[in-house]
A = this chain, B = another copy of it.
Amino acid sequence: MATEQSNSTTTPRYKQLADIIRNAIEQGLLADNQALPSERELAEKYEVSRDTVRKSVRYLEERGVIYSDHGRGTFVAPSIVRRMSRFIDSFSQDTQHRGGAPGQRILTVEPSAASMGVAGLLGLEPGYPLIRVRRVRLIDGAAVGLHDAYFPLPRGSKLDRAELEQAESLYKLLTEKFGFAPAEAVENLHAGSADAEDAQLLGIPPGSPILIVERITLSDRREPIEYCLMKYVSSYRYSTRIAKYSGVA
């Protein structure tokens, strides 16, 4: 930690240290459930305070990379846990983490007045102008899901299909072009059946079971900024991690 990289002006030390530890784990230098050096040792080795080391440890613990046990030490989380983090732009990342090639086929990109349902979820007036983007999501070229996203654009802005087709990701495009800043999301999941259109687009028989995921994305001020309805074929796995039991009452 002595002589710092060029970007150290902005990256806090605890994140730098966290990256060092995470890289060591990802490169297999530390095995599952193996103990890390003690906090005091890490502090000395990297010339930071113990409190900064603890911040790194918390940071990685929240992400399921390591875990600490009072009086015993800090350990590498088993890979089954490490692989399970969820992120907001989950489809592409999840798929890549699982070794698949994510893809998409854009169906429509069009203006859409908010229906009562969507307006309620987004906290807007019915009829409010939204953009609706419908896509088939692919893994290794095979259709696995349908995404139907609704979001407002800043007044006067436009989004066309060509733009989206070139972009690496819808979220990245929205973020860079329109200042779309997702901070958090809530998701509701349930089982359902494919209707005729779903079935045709996903290449499955009508009535097949599908996993339905509804998501509301919130800005840093916790204003709803997107509603997305997703439908997945039954071979698609949605993975999640449930953190430490929190002594609720």
Q: List residues of chain A with CB under 8 Å of any chain B CB.
A: 33, 58, 62-64, 67, 69, 75, 77-78, 80-81, 84-90, 93, 182-193, 209-212, 216, 218, 220-222, 232-246, 248
Cβ contacts A to B, 12 pairs, < 8 Å? A69-B220, A75-B222, A80-B216, A84-B186, A87-B246, A183-B245, A184-B242, A186-B240, A187-B242, A188-B238, A191-B233, A209-B210
User: Which residue of the partner chain, among B33, B81, B183, B188, contacts A186 with CB atoms under 8 Å?
Assistant: B81
Contact between A239 and B184, CB atoms less than 8 A apart? no
Residues from chain B with Cβ under 8 Å of A86 in the complex? 240, 242
A211 to B188, alpha carbons, bound, how many Å?
Answer: 12
User: Which residue of the partner chain, among B69, B87, B232, B239, contacts A187 with CB atoms under 8 Å?
Assistant: B239
Contact between B222 and A187, CB atoms less than 8 A apart? no
Residues from chain B with Cβ under 8 Å of A242 in the complex? 86-88, 90, 184-187
Closest B residue to A187 by CB, please name it: B240
Contact between A63 and B246, CB atoms less than 8 A apart? yes
Contact between B62 and A232, CB atoms less than 8 A apart? no
Contact between B81 and A189, CB atoms less than 8 A apart? no
Contact between B88 and A189, CB atoms less than 8 A apart? no
Query: Nearest chain B CB to A176's CB is how many angstroms away?
Result: 14
Query: Nearest chain B CB to A86's CB is how many angstroms away?
Result: 5
A236 to B233, alpha carbons, bound, how many Å?
Answer: 18
Contact between A182 and B245, CB atoms less than 8 A apart? yes
User: Which residue of the partner chain, among B182, B189, B233, contacts A240 with CB atoms under 8 Å?
Assistant: B189
Residues from chain B with Cβ under 8 Å of A182 in the complex? 245
Contact between B186 and A222, CB atoms less than 8 A apart? no
Contact between B221 and A33, CB atoms less than 8 A apart? yes
Contact between B193 and A239, CB atoms less than 8 A apart? no
Contact between B190 and A235, CB atoms less than 8 A apart? yes
Query: Nearest chain B CB to A99's CB is how many angstroms away?
Result: 16
User: Which residue of the partner chain, among B77, B191, B233, B248, contacts A211 with CB atoms under 8 Å?
Assistant: B191
Residues from chain B with Cβ under 8 Å of A75 in the complex? 222
Closest B residue to A212 by CB, please name it: B191
Query: Nearest chain B CB to A121's CB is how many angstroms away?
Result: 9
